[in-house]
């Protein structure tokens, strides 16, 4: 029963991360409607949106779990990135995993671990 509650807290963190991502993408879409944006800015915005989403989801889940913040943060980051990867593969029919995606995953894991520890201590 305790394991089910643990993964429920992780799932809620991932869900909240996805909701933050959707909100940030809507804001970015509005910006792109009125202003021309180069591809380098898009890539940077994607990384920032990913980090902010993982931070929020990891802190939320870690605060709910009250222990193992680093593990909770890493799991939120991994499941979030997996969900984003699956959704983008389904929507864009592009299944590739290169060094850029690996770097984004590693950044998300690092941010998730640190945010999980932060979530326990605030």
Total domain count for the chain?
A: 1
In this prediction, residue 80 carries a pLDDT of 96
**Band of the pLDDT at 92, cuts 50, 70, 90?**
confident
Q: Could you tell me the pTM of the whole model?
A: 0.89
Alpha-carbon distance of 77 to 52, in angstroms, equals: 11
94 or 39, greater pLDDT: 39
Whether 5 shows a pLDDT value over 90: the answer reads no
* Positive or negative torsion for Cα 5, 7, 67, 1: positive
Confidence of residue 1 (pLDDT cuts 50, 70, 90): low
Q: Which residues fall within 8 angstroms of residue 15, CB to CB, at 6 or more apart?
A: 57
Residues 6+ apart with CB under 8 A from 20: 49, 52, 53, 56, 57
């Amino acid at each position: 029963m305790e394991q089910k509650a643990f993964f429920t807290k992780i799932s809620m963190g991932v869900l909240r991360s996805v909701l933050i991502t959707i909100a940030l993408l809507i804001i970015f879409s509005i910006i792109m409607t009125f202003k021309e944006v180069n591809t380098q800015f898009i890539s940077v915005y994607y990384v920032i949106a990913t980090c902010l989403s993982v931070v929020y989801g990891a802190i939320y889940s870690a605060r709910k779990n009250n222990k193992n913040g680093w593990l909770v943060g890493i799991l939120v980051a991994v499941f979030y990135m997996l969900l984003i990867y699956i959704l983008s593969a389904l929507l864009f029919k592009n299944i590739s995993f290169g060094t850029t995606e690996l770097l984004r995953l590693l950044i998300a894991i690092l941010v998730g671990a640190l945010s999980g520890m932060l979530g326990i201590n605030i």
